[in-house]
Amino acid sequence: METEIKILYTSDVHGYVGDAHQRKGILRAASLIKKLRANLKQHVVLIDNGDLIQGTSLAQYAIDHEEVNPIISLYNEIGYEAAVFGNHEFNYGAKKLQSVVAQSRFPWISANIVRKDTDEPFYGKPYIVREFNGFKIGILGLTTKFVPVWEKPTNIQQLHFLDPVEVAPRWIKEMREKEQVDFVIVSYHGGLEVHPETGDELSECNGENQGIQLIREVAGIDALFTGHQHIIVNEEVRGVSVLQTGTQGQYVGALTIKANKQADGWKTVKKTALLPVDEEEQDQQIYQLIEPIVKRADKWMDEKIGSAAASFRYTDPLKEVWLQEHPVIEWMNRVQMETANVDISCTALLNASCFGLQEKVTRKSILELYPFPNTLVVMELTGEQIREALEVSASFFDVKSDGTVTIHPQWEKPRSLSYNYDMWEGIDYIIDVRNPIGKRIKSIHYHGVPLKPTHPYKVVMSNYRATGTGGYEMVGRGKVIKEYKEEVSHLLMEAVIKAGTIHANVNHNWIIEY
């Protein structure tokens, strides 16, 4: 008798429940999953691959103000059987994460997140096993080892993040030998170093994304579910089925296994698919579970906290924000400088599609402008380190033969990396994008004097940038002077409330020549 099993997974949902206009989200995925479960000929297993509880204003509101997490309530009702820890699960600290885990009617799994000074998984058994008509499937959870690079140490102080490639063999062996599983799925909240088909580099080979390395170096994997990069992948690599489902519930990943018991063991045929949710209607039945929280969140988020001048809006981020100084960036940098009491700052446009701030400023509009729970750090950098950091940002641009400026292709792999293009305040600098990458900084002055290569300067920036990620290793080598606990989005809200109406006259302290 043939046994047919469908393993479904989502990844990088980032708290996106959905709305009437965007054809994606948890509620539409729930409708699709319900239809797939209605096929009585198949057994269905459903898991999530991480980055679930962070990323929307609703998710932020729930973490800050609600005891019950609405995203977890939805997942409980939908019937998820496991979730892998993503890097953003750790953004809010151990206490709040533990509350999320306790509310979940499913296990959270990751083999390489262990108690410090041990090799034992912090959150218990790192895999699940499901059996159907004698056929056993094991699903192992893994998380990118780069979490400590980005995360505040206080949020992960009891944890150690081991290398997934080194950890996986132990647990695959246990599943194969002790649990006697017939089919192994690795669900890895991490991505791919290179594209499985073309071989093109998708990310720097620094250990953040190790999907291809897992396939090449770890035996016994039948399928690999990936995430983190927010891209779409459905490929076969060395006999291993590889999937990635985008972000915000765009797709549900599906692995169908047909298993037949034979004298010498199980014979299997597998097939993968990415199932779009855009044709599905939102599941209103499960939405009712969280509707009271959503209404409270909407009331809180939509409350007017101040006003912004018309200059805080933009329509084309390349022309209006990245190629010339814009008031919204000027204002963000000045809030950082005032908070930290230093006179050099750098920040980035973290959400290019928010188009600045409208005249009515709400908490929601600030959270859309600054969607990450970053905090501030004052770093001591030398003049040379600042120059090197500016050269990284200058590589953001590409000049075509006709003289037009676009975003360099390397900044759009595997997705837009514009959140790593920093704009500085407190120094005057000129970037000439006609010059080769690495030689584009024409001049840098501080208080009218050329920046001194070995002189130390205090710079306020996000804790994310202070880690040196995104190509800014020179920043990570700087000295930490002071760290702040309050999130930048909260500081921006407080600045709006204090001012009533926010203004920012750009001083054109930086110029892009092309």
**Chain-centroid distance, C-alpha 467:** 16
pLDDT tier for residue 498 given thresholds of 50, 70 and 90: very high
Q: Which of 234, 266, 297 is the last residue of a domain?
A: 297
pLDDT tier for residue 127 given thresholds of 50, 70 and 90: very high
- Statement: residue 77 has pLDDT above 80: yes
363 lies in the same domain as 268: no
pLDDT of residue 41: 80
pLDDT of residue 414: 83
Pick from 390, 407, 391, 389: which is nearest to 399 by CA? Answer: 407
What is the rounded average pLDDT of the residues 189-211?
Answer: 88
pLDDT of residue 91: 94
109 lies in the same domain as 177: yes
**Chain-centroid distance, C-alpha 105:** 24
pLDDT of residue 159: 96
What is the rounded average pLDDT of the residues 121-136?
Answer: 96
User: Is residue 76 within 8 Å of residue 106, measured between CB atoms?
Assistant: yes
SS3 192: coil
45 lies in the same domain as 180: yes
Pick from 235, 371, 359: which is nearest to 307 by CA? Answer: 359
Q: Which residue has the tokens 């199932």?
A: 275
What is the rounded average pLDDT of the residues 63-79?
Answer: 97
pLDDT of residue 198: 80
Mean pLDDT of the chain: 96
Backbone angles phi, psi at 255, to 5 degrees: -120, 115
pLDDT of residue 203: 81
**79: number of Cβ within 10 Å:** 15
Split into its structural domains, the chain has a count of 2
**33: number of Cβ within 10 Å:** 24
pLDDT tier for residue 40 given thresholds of 50, 70 and 90: confident
SS3 288: helix
- How would DSSP label each residue in 10-46? E---TT----SSSS-SHHHHHHHHHHHHT-TTSEEEE
- Statement: residue 21 has pLDDT above 90: no
pLDDT tier for residue 202 given thresholds of 50, 70 and 90: confident
249 lies in the same domain as 319: no
Pick from 185, 218, 87: which is nearest to 144 by CA? Answer: 87
pLDDT of residue 413: 82
Q: Which of 255, 282, 297 is the last residue of a domain?
A: 297
User: Is residue 227 within 8 Å of residue 252, measured between CB atoms?
Assistant: no
User: Is residue 169 within 8 Å of residue 206, measured between CB atoms?
Assistant: no
Any idea which of 214-218, 257-261, 344-348, 409-413 has the lowest mean pLDDT?
A: 409-413
CA triplet 50, 56, 60: central angle to 5 degrees?
A: 95
462 lies in the same domain as 363: yes
What is the rounded average pLDDT of the residues 130-159?
Answer: 96
pLDDT of residue 400: 93
Helix (H) or strand (E) holding 437: none
- Statement: residue 324 has pLDDT above 90: yes
Any idea which of 133-137, 191-195, 417-421 has the lowest mean pLDDT?
A: 191-195
314 lies in the same domain as 391: yes
Token code pair at residue 171: 């647990």
pLDDT of residue 468: 94
User: Is residue 487 within 8 Å of residue 375, measured between CB atoms?
Assistant: yes
310 lies in the same domain as 287: no
- Statement: residue 477 has pLDDT above 90: yes
342 lies in the same domain as 368: yes
16 lies in the same domain as 33: yes
Range of the domain at 288: 2-297
**498: number of Cβ within 10 Å:** 9
- pLDDT single digits (tens) 216-236: 999 999 999 999 999 999 999
Cα–Cα distances in Å, from 364 out to 220, 358, 499?
46, 11, 18
pLDDT of residue 362: 97
Kindly state the percentage of the chain with pLDDT values over 90. Answer: 93
**Chain-centroid distance, C-alpha 99:** 21
pLDDT of residue 22: 87
Report the helix count and the strand count for the chain, using DSSP H and E. 15, 28
Looking from the CA of 14 toward its CB, the CA atoms found within 13 Å total 17
292 lies in the same domain as 310: no
Can you give the CATH number for the domain in which 308 is found? 3.90.780.10
Can you give the CATH number for the domain in which 62 is found? 3.60.21.10
Token code pair at residue 421: 């293009």
pLDDT of residue 300: 95
464 lies in the same domain as 330: yes
SS3 498: helix
Q: Which residue has the tokens 């969280």?
A: 290
User: Is residue 259 within 8 Å of residue 42, measured between CB atoms?
Assistant: no
pLDDT tier for residue 107 given thresholds of 50, 70 and 90: very high
Task: Give the β-pairing of 304-308 and 375-382.
Answer: unpaired
Q: How far apart are the first and last CA of the chain?
A: 68
Token code pair at residue 409: 């292709």
195 lies in the same domain as 278: yes
What is the rounded average pLDDT of the residues 427-454?
Answer: 97
Amino acid at 420: N
- How would DSSP label each residue in 142-167? EE-TTHHHHS-GGGSTTEEE--HHHH
Q: Which residue has the tokens 């765009």?
A: 250
Alpha-carbon span 496 to 76, nearest angstrom = 38
pLDDT of residue 20: 76
pLDDT of residue 54: 95
- Statement: residue 397 has pLDDT above 90: yes
List the strands of the sheet with 479-487, edge to edge: 422-425, 345-348, 456-462, 375-382, 479-487
- Statement: residue 398 has pLDDT above 90: yes
